[in-house]
Amino acid sequence: MINIHEVVETNEMIEKENLDVRTITLGISLLDCIDSDLDKLCDNIYNKIYDTAKDLVKTGDQIAREFGIPIVNKRISVTPISLIGGAACKSPEDFAKIAKTLDKVARAVGVNFIGGYSALVSKGMTESDKMLIESIPMALSTTEVVCSSINVGSTKTGINMDAVRLMGTIVKKTAEATKEKDSLGCAKLVIFCNAPDDNPFMAGAFHGVTEADKIINVGVSGPGVVKTALEKVRGENFEVLCETIKKTAFKVTRVGQLVAQEASKRLGVPFGIIDLSLAPTPAIGDSVADILHEIGVEHAGAPGTTAALALLNDQVKKGGVMASSYVGGLSGAFIPVSEDQGMIDAVEAGALTLEKLEAMTCVCSVGLDMIAIPGDTKDTTIAGIIADEMAIGMINQKTTAVRLIPVIGKGVGETVEFGGLLGYAPIMPVNKFSCDEFVNRGGRIPAPVHSFKN
Amino acid sequence: MNKTIITVVGKDTVGIIAKVCTYLAESKINILDISQTIVSGYFNMMMIVDMSGTDKQFNTVADDLESLGQGIGVVIKCQREEIFDSMHRV
């Protein structure tokens, strides 16, 4: 039988160390909503999502109540809209209308975000992919909770550089379109390489075409729990360090697994995967950077950071894989800047640069995340940063992503406030040298050789 | 069997267990195990109870105990046993 010390340990994790289930994400296929009439299509989408997700928030809250564990977000992901809208949409404005429908239904069922305003263009773009991408600034500036993601490359296909160049421009236009809100639209736009079909985390969640009609995916969290556990093994060697992370990740993941199974049972929707990511929030003590500090680097970004992050990420997976029957999604440590107080401190102390962040993304998911850059950064420079990050994903057979926010009207030294889980960020300097000629070549970067690894 | 863990945390005073037990008896909730300890100066009590005999909903019991706790200056939480089982048992 459970003893009092175990009960106290669990409750301390929840009450003092910010242990929570970060998200229950309900994936819904919209393939059966397709219609060549736009109004009919929007009605179909609204009705299917409403019917499937109407009890999601209530069920999530009830589970949270019964187990005494906060479930921070309830979200929906849908089939990439470029596939769904292709038959009905004749212009970017038509696609934006679908975005508004998604926004409306997401608010009606009370979820925090809805993801899947997406296109998968890792090799080429169809007309409808292109229209959807062009509609992103409009869609994200006229909706509140819609999230967009574009997959522009993969290990199997290479990188679609036409899409990368276009996305450089679209990120900038989205920033312009939402400049009254400190370019917040860009916080809801992710550019991926090797995007997974079952990621429950926003802004990159979508319901892939390989998925069932509906599915429950759960993202766990708990950087604070790992940090607290590591405080007890200060000065110990790497073996002890790794064991501690692994055991803690196991416990955290088991809670996610339990919540996922309960949600699946109560909603009558199959359980998909647990995403084993350490997801920080701006709350004090809920930081991945603080774990790195506890492992032994003065600030995230100091020499040793990449190695520390690599071991952290790997141990989290080792502990988590045993705790859950199905693991998927992104599964790695997130290193967003604005959403992690320790990262913000590291940037402000001058310890962490964009280049070091790029190196860190080689050993953890998911990429250059929530990084505010000067509003006057050129489109091609943004495209160049995207291309670099996509190349890391392509060559290393992993998911990488870019979520940059060029804050219109602001420059290095200023800060930008997004509020809530998105936090605030100091604007980071970007390398000033040009990559115009590289980005403007057009075409694609071929898929890499899968042998001769070095 | 429908096991729930009730935890009481706060400053030790007279009658905490009596009050909680009275409520549980009235609600036809059977106590399977009680243990207590002091953690960093705070009184910690844990009860494992079986809720299968009660007509009350989980939320009602949790709310009632919470307000009962407020009345005597302690924090009372109800959680289903599975969260502890899944975290601490392989």
Domain match, A417 and A291 both: yes
Domain that holds residue A425: 221-445
Report the number of distinct structural domains present in chain A: 2
Read off the CATH number of the domain in which A159 is found.
Answer: 3.20.70.20
- pLDDT the model gives residue B54: 93
Q: Both A126 and A252 in a single domain?
A: no
> How many angstroms away from the CA of A247 is the closest CA of chain B?
10
Domain check: are A161 and A226 in the same one? no
Locate the chain B residue with the closest alpha carbon to A1.
B85
Q: Are strands A71-78 and A113-120 parallel, antiparallel or unpaired?
A: parallel
Residues A280 and A169 in one domain: no
pLDDT score of B22 more than 80: yes
Residues in chain B: 90
Q: Is A235 exposed, middle or buried (0-12, 13-18, 19+ CB in 10 A)?
A: exposed
CATH number at residue B28: 3.30.70.260
pLDDT at A409: 94
Q: Which residues contact B25 (CB under 8 A, 6 or more apart)?
A: none
Nearest to A209, CA basis, from A316, A103, A84: A84
Q: Domain for residue A210, yes or no?
A: no
Residues A92 and A229 in one domain: no
Tell which residue, A204, A183, A181, has the closest CA to residue A194: A204
Interchain CB distance below 8 Å, B87 and A11: no
Nearest chain B residue to A249 by CA: give it.
B87
Which residue of A lies nearest to B36 if distances are taken between CA atoms?
A4
Where does residue A34 rank: exposed (0-12), middle (13-18), buried (19+ CB within 10 A)?
middle
Do A265 and A404 belong together in one domain? yes
Cβ separation of B88 and A65 shorter than 8 Å? no
CA distance A221 to A180: 32
CA–CA distance, A128 with B69 (Å, rounded to integer):
59
CB contact under 8 A, A7 and B7: yes
Please answer whether residues A103 and A144 qualify as being in contact, where contact means their C-beta atoms are separated by less than 8 angstroms: yes
A1, A3, A5, A7: which to substitute to probe chain B, counting the most B Cβ within 10 Å? A7
What is the phi/psi pair of residue A232, to 5°?
Answer: -80, -10
Same structural domain for residues A177 and A269? no
Contacts A8 to B, Cβ<8 Å? 7, 37, 39, 44, 46
Alpha-carbon distance A320 to nearest alpha carbon in chain B (angstroms): 12
Q: Which residues of A touch B78 (CB under 8 A)?
A: 68
A211 lies in some domain:
no
Q: Are A146 and A101 in contact (CB under 8 A)?
A: no
Chain B: closest CA distance from residue A181 (Å):
40
Q: Please say which residue of A193, A213, A243 terminates a domain.
A: A193
Structure token digits, residue A299? 């600030």
Instruction: Examine the domain organization and report whether A295 and A373 are in the same domain.
Output: yes
Residues in chain B within 8 Å Cβ distance of A21: none
A188 touches chain B (CB under 8 A): no
Domain assignment of residue B24, given as a range: 3-88
**Beta carbons within 10 angstroms of residue B29's beta carbon:** 22
State whether A141 and A229 are in the same domain: no
Phi/psi at A370 (5° precision): 55, 55
**pLDDT above 90: residue B12:** no
Q: Is A5 on the interface with B (CB under 8 A)?
A: yes
A331 and A414 both lie in a single domain: yes
Q: Does A10 touch chain B (CB under 8 A)?
A: yes
Whether the CA torsion A320, A321, A326, A330 is positive or negative: it is positive
Q: Which of these, A182, A227, A219, A192, lies nearest to A422 by C-alpha position?
A: A182
| A250: β partners | none
Considering the entire predicted model, what is its pTM? 0.92
Q: Do A112 and A173 sit in the same domain of this protein? A: yes
Nearest CA in chain B to A323: B90
Name chain A contacts of B35, Cβ cutoff 8 Å: 3-4
Domain count, chain B: 1
ipTM, two decimals: 0.90
Q: Is B63 on the interface with A (CB under 8 A)?
A: no
pLDDT, tens digit only, all 454 positions of chain A = 888 989 989 998 998 888 899 999 999 999 999 999 999 999 999 999 999 999 999 999 999 999 999 999 999 999 999 999 999 999 999 999 999 999 999 999 999 999 999 999 999 999 999 999 999 999 999 999 999 999 999 999 999 999 999 999 999 999 999 999 999 999 999 999 999 999 988 999 999 999 999 999 999 888 999 999 999 999 999 999 999 999 999 999 999 999 999 999 999 999 999 988 888 888 888 899 999 999 999 999 999 999 999 999 999 999 999 999 899 888 888 888 998 999 999 999 999 999 999 999 999 877 899 999 999 999 999 999 999 999 999 999 999 999 999 999 999 989 998 877 788 889 999 999 999 999 999 999 999 998 887 7
Strand partners for B6: B47, B78
